[in-house]
A and B are shown apart, each in its own frame.
Chain A
Amino acid sequence: MTIRQSSAESQTRLSRRTLLKGSAVALAMGAAAMPSARGAAVERPAPGTPSGTPPKGRVIDCHAHLSHRSRPTWEADDRKLIEAADKLGIDQLCCSTLTPRQPATADGFRECNEWTADAMRRFPGRVLGYCYVNPGYGREALEEIRRYVGERGFIGIKLYNEYTCTEPVVFPVVELAIDLGVPILHHAGHSHYFVEEQPRLTDGGHLAELARRYPEAMLICAHISGGGDWEWTIKALRHASNVMLDTSGSVTDDGTVDMAAAVVGVDRLVFGCDSSMTAGVGKIRGADLSAQDKEKILGGNMMRLLRRRKA
């Protein structure tokens, strides 16, 4: 055990003593034992639900990022992420490491994935890895997915904005994800203007189209609260039953989670933060949903996706 790990775990214990309400012990996806973090995410039941009955399930942030190591503070930043998760009652974080600029090169996404794997070792049971690739690299991208998802226990694939998800170059990645039985978390957003810095930005409509082409794919539309018109996104995905909606993003507009639950159903919502930690937790806490529904969103639905992984 390194000094770094020891410090992080000490902080974990301290914050849990202060904040934990529950006592469950969960197993990390894969094998490692993991203490349960019952904190702010599940501390308060929704209005109208029985008090003193916090959800029992695991809390999984479906959309998290580790710091790129070009940042001199990357190690401290990663540790802060885990400490924030401890404070907020988030048991596990599904993480990718992204290149600072897109499009990512093959070397760029390779080193990112190796760093994600290293974080899984540094924070066992807390960090689950997404394999980030640029589909434009074809064979290299598929090899990377086979290596990290197929052999090294990553739980899914992260696609960013290099290509719109309906471009044919993306299809082999989707087909491999189907073969492996893992989800694709796809960066997305919809604004009513052309987003110059992201000319191939995917939106909910694109994901719905991809979902029709691949009904067996498990797609996650990233951060419905990531800044675009979330009402548009939710409506665009109403009929795309194999697309999950990730609640993450910095925007805390009232009604977002409620509308998403009403339009697509709670079974298609997965809790996320995308580094906006209190926003992510607060939106779920604020949604006018039952404790059981929140439990699904906070982790149950993501667990269901992850269990579909093929051997």
Chain B
Amino acid sequence: MIVDVNAYLGHFAFRRLRHNTAASLLALMDSKKIDKAVVSSAAAITYRNAQAGNEEVAAETSGHRDRLIPFAVINPFYAGWQDDLKICHEEFGMAGLRLYPKWHNYNLSSPCCRELVTAATERGMVVSIPIRVEDNRERSWLLNIPDVPLEEIVELVKAHPKSRFILLNGLGYTGSPLGRKDNGLPSNYAVELSRLSAVLANEIGQLITNLGADRIMFGTGMPFNYPDPALVKLEVLDASDPDKDKIRSQNAASWLRL
């Protein structure tokens, strides 16, 4: 089984996405033998009211919950986020969140963000954080959104040891405490591999050594990204079959209770 913890539905403001409906994404997943995918709204990244995107994803995934696992995009700086979180969890059955602090103009250290993480944790929801949405060099002339600094993630995971975080679309963890062995941080975060190298510098291999294969999860970033590069990483990764199985699906299945 392959579980992708990094997938999306809907439109993105700055580029046309293919495979961005439930039907087309599932067809893509079938062609790539990806069994399940965690999806959130791509539109909610730029909607002022992110909850509208959550409603779209809830409707789109209805009838496909055996394969599409919806996550909510919550902006804790926007009115009514507590109500949105409750609806997403209790009515939409969303098992986790995605946070976009730079796109939504807050910091991970902001009290409102810490309040959101605490509330999500109390609900047993996983908190995932895309380090970036797209490469900054291809950005629109309208905006300049930096990557989420790994230093902010370090402080967040320290401040919320009982929370569970999945870090998406990141790299360079081995140059940060997040990817170092015996880093003194709680083991409450996992790293998704779509931007990590599996050859040359082989950051995935380094992270397996430093953190353990339990802390790496498979993800593609589809439909923003071709899913194939991440699949190729799994194929060529120099790791044991049990470790690959953990990365391929078991870690995500455990965290998401699949």
Q: A282 near B141 (CB under 8 angstroms)?
A: no
Q: Give 1 or 0 for each of A275-288: 1 = CB within 8 Å of chain B CB.
A: 10111011101110
Q: A278 near B140 (CB under 8 angstroms)?
A: no
Residues of B within 8 A of A87 (CB): 199, 236
Residues of B within 8 A of A80 (CB): 199-200
Residues of A within 8 A of B134 (CB): 251, 253
Is A151 engaged at the interface, CB distance under 8 Å to the other chain? Answer: no
Is A156 engaged at the interface, CB distance under 8 Å to the other chain? Answer: no
| B19, B135, B144, B232: the one within 8 Å of A281 (CB) | B232
Q: Which residue of B lies closest to A277 (CB)?
A: B199
Could you count the A-B residue pairs with CB atoms below 8 Å apart for me: how many are there?
A: 101
Q: How long is the Cα–Cα vector from A282 to B19 in the complex, in angstroms?
A: 17
Q: B224 near A278 (CB under 8 angstroms)?
A: no
Interface size band for B: 35 or more
Q: B232 near A278 (CB under 8 angstroms)?
A: yes
Q: Give 1 or 0 for each of A247-279: 1 = CB within 8 Å of chain B CB.
A: 000111111100000000000000000010111
Residues of A within 8 A of B197 (CB): 277-278
Residues of B within 8 A of A302 (CB): none
Q: Give 1 or 0 for each of B226-257: 1 = CB within 8 Å of chain A CB.
A: 11111111011000000000000000000000
Residues of B within 8 A of A256 (CB): 226
Of listed B19, B134, B198, B200, residue having the most chain A CB within 10 A: B200
Between-chain CB contacts (< 8 Å), 30 pairs: A40-B235, A77-B200, A80-B199, A80-B200, A189-B137, A191-B137, A191-B138, A191-B139, A192-B141, A193-B141, A226-B137, A227-B138, A228-B138, A229-B138, A251-B138, A252-B194, A252-B225, A253-B134, A253-B224, A254-B222, A256-B226, A275-B200, A278-B229, A282-B226, A282-B229, A282-B232, A283-B229, A285-B228, A285-B232, A286-B228
The 7 closest A-B pairs by CB, nearest first: A282-B229, A286-B226, A227-B137, A286-B228, A84-B199, A282-B228, A192-B141
Chain A contacts to B: CB under 8 angstroms: 19, 40, 47, 77, 80-81, 83-84, 87-88, 189, 191-193, 195, 226-231, 250-256, 275, 277-279, 281-283, 285-287
Chain B contacts to A: CB under 8 angstroms: 15-19, 31, 134-141, 144, 194-195, 197-200, 221-233, 235-236
Given contacts A252-B226, A254-B225, A278-B232, 17 further A-B contacts (CB under 8 A): A80-B200, A191-B139, A192-B140, A193-B141, A227-B137, A250-B195, A251-B135, A253-B224, A253-B226, A254-B18, A254-B224, A278-B198, A278-B229, A278-B230, A278-B236, A286-B226, A287-B226
